[in-house]
């Protein structure tokens, strides 16, 4: 594959409704869309970094800098024969997983198109539908949260995740559990607690939660192992896992019993598959996390979630959960059985609406092979 041209779009697109987590509230999403042309074929990628470094240290601006000043020169340096080579091509740059993943997505899209396969076939995915859950932000009141949850149940979402933060935790979780006694329910703390808050999580034990996601610090594994030893409810790590080494460390220390895989957080699809494989051999189930992606990033997540050890519903809701309209046409729509269909056309299998993309673009830059 000879990369000829890379177009970057810094976009800002309104969210259907505000999304509040323990680290802040978003009413719109900024990200970078990458469009790569190689051998006359076009591939797409979406950067999951946010405007602010509240979830991870990367931001849209740091990703733009890393991509343009350090990654693109390495991409243009020579042909790529397999997308799995991309992480080593970029390895000189330490960290900046989300910046790297943006370009790698487009490379996988192109490679699978060249092979005449949908991306999920190309990576050996085993399903044509993926089971999805919904991630619900903190609402102004507990009552409004319960109403939101019931609304998503009505649409047909089969797994509910609610965000928690200090002061909006046990009561919210209890109220939601009372409203949906038999539905798989989980909480995501986004690192808002300390080990000294362990009694709070002990009080959640009788709510029969599917898991507690990332209760402790974003860079911690050790204290999660202490907390997990105190709880029957499985801990799931999100923020703490950036590599196969982190996954092994977390599993071997008993810091979690489930891992959330986000391809952007681990530096792209190659590493995401490697983390999936490490977890599969250890008997640890994984699920596909989300970062409020548009249809472009969503398509990559959906392909990833077809691998066999994705044994729990992902944060892969339909396009209209976040964007209306989405940047792709047709959008991802919710099937009555609580799933999204995996695109069958070659590559990511999506059609980007170029007019819509241009309308949400704040800044565009084009780079050609020197």
309-to-18, 129, 160, 268, 322 alpha-carbon distances in Å: 32, 14, 20, 18, 27
Which of 100, 148, 161, 262 is flagged as catalytic?
A: 262
Nearer to ligand OSB, 77 or 333 (CB): 333
DSSP string across 139-207: PSSHHHHHHHHHHHHHHT---EEEE-BTTBSHHHHHHHHHHSTTS-EEEE-TT---GGGHHHHHHTGGG
Provide CB contacts within 8 A for 252, sequence distance 6+.
none
Under the criterion CB under 6 A, does residue 240 sit at the interface with ligand OSB? no
Nearer to ligand OSB, 46 or 109 (CB): 46
Under the criterion CB under 6 A, does residue 291 sit at the interface with ligand OSB? yes
The CA dihedral of 286, 289, 295, 299, to the nearest 10 degrees, is -20
Buried b (16+ CB within 10 A) or exposed e, 227-266: bbeebebbbbbbbbbbbbebbebbbeeebbbbbbbbbbbb
**Of positions 169, 238, 246, 293, contacts Mg ion by CB under 5 A:** 238
The total number of residues written for the chain in this structure? 370
Sign of the CA dihedral 235, 60, 50, 15?
Answer: negative
**Of positions 55, 108, 157, 334, contacts ligand OSB by CB under 6 A:** 55
Q: Is 369 a catalytic residue?
A: no
Which of 100, 148, 163, 226 is flagged as catalytic?
A: 163
Q: Which does 104 bind (CB under 5 to 8 A by kind): ligand OSB, Mg ion, none?
A: none
Under the criterion CB under 5 A, does residue 293 sit at the interface with Mg ion? no
Distance CA 330, CA 327 (A): 9
Which of the stretches 42-50, 60-68, 230-238, 303-311 binds Mg ion when contact is defined by CB under 5 A? 230-238
Under the criterion CB under 5 A, does residue 58 sit at the interface with Mg ion? no
Nearer to ligand OSB, 121 or 293 (CB): 293
Q: Is 163 a catalytic residue?
A: yes
Binding mask of the shown chain, residues 349 to 368, with x at each position contacting Mg ion by CB under 5 A: --------------------
Q: Which does 291 bind (CB under 5 to 8 A by kind): ligand OSB, Mg ion, none?
A: ligand OSB
Nearer to ligand OSB, 1 or 236 (CB): 236
List active site positions: 163, 262
- The footprint of ligand OSB (CB under 6 A) covers 55, 135, 188, 190, 238, 289-292, 315, 317
């Amino acid at each position: 594959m000879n990369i000829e041209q890379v177009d970057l779009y810094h976009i800002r697109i309104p969210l259907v409704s505000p999304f509040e987590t323990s680290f802040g509230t978003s009413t719109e999403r900024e990200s970078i869309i990458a469009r790569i042309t190689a051998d006359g074929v076009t591939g797409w990628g979406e950067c999951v970094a946010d405007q602010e470094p509240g979830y991870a240290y990367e931001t849209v601006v740091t990703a733009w800098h890393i991509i343009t000043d350090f990654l693109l020169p390495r991409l243009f340096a020579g042909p790529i024969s397999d997308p799995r080579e991309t992480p080593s091509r970029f390895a000189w740059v330490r960290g900046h997983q989300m910046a790297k993943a943006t370009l790698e997505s487009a490379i996988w899209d192109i490679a699978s198109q060249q092979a005449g396969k949908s991306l999920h076939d190309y990576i050996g995915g085993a399903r044509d539908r993926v089971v999805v859950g919904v991630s619900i932000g903190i609402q102004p009141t507990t009552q409004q949260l319960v109403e939101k949850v019931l609304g998503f149940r009505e649409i047909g979402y089969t797994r509910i995740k609610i965000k928690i933060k200090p002061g909006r935790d046990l009561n919210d979780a209890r109220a939601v559990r009372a409203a949906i006694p038999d539905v798989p329910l989980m909480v995501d703390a986004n690192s808002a607690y300390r080990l000294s808050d362990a009694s709070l999580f002990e009080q959640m034990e009788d709510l029969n939660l599917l898991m507690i996601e990332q209760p402790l610090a974003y860079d911690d594994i050790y204290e999660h192992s202490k907390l997990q030893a105190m709880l029957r409810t499985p801990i799931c790590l999100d923020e703490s896992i950036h590599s196969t080494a982190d996954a092994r460390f977390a599993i071997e220390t008993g810091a979690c019993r489930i891992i959330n895989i986000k391809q952007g957080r681990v530096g792209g699809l190659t590493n995401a598959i490697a983390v999936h494989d490490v977890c599969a051999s250890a008997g640890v189930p994984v699920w596909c996390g989300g970062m409020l992606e548009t249809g472009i990033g969503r398509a990559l997540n959906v392909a990833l979630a077809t691998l066999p050890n994705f044994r729990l519903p992902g944060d892969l809701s339909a396009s209209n959960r976040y964007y209306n309209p989405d940047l792709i046409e047709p959008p991802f729509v919710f099937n009555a059985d609580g799933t999204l269909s995996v695109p069958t056309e070659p590559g990511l299998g999506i059609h980007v609406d170029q007019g819509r993309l241009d309308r949400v673009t704040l800044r565009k830059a084009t780079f050609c092979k020197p």
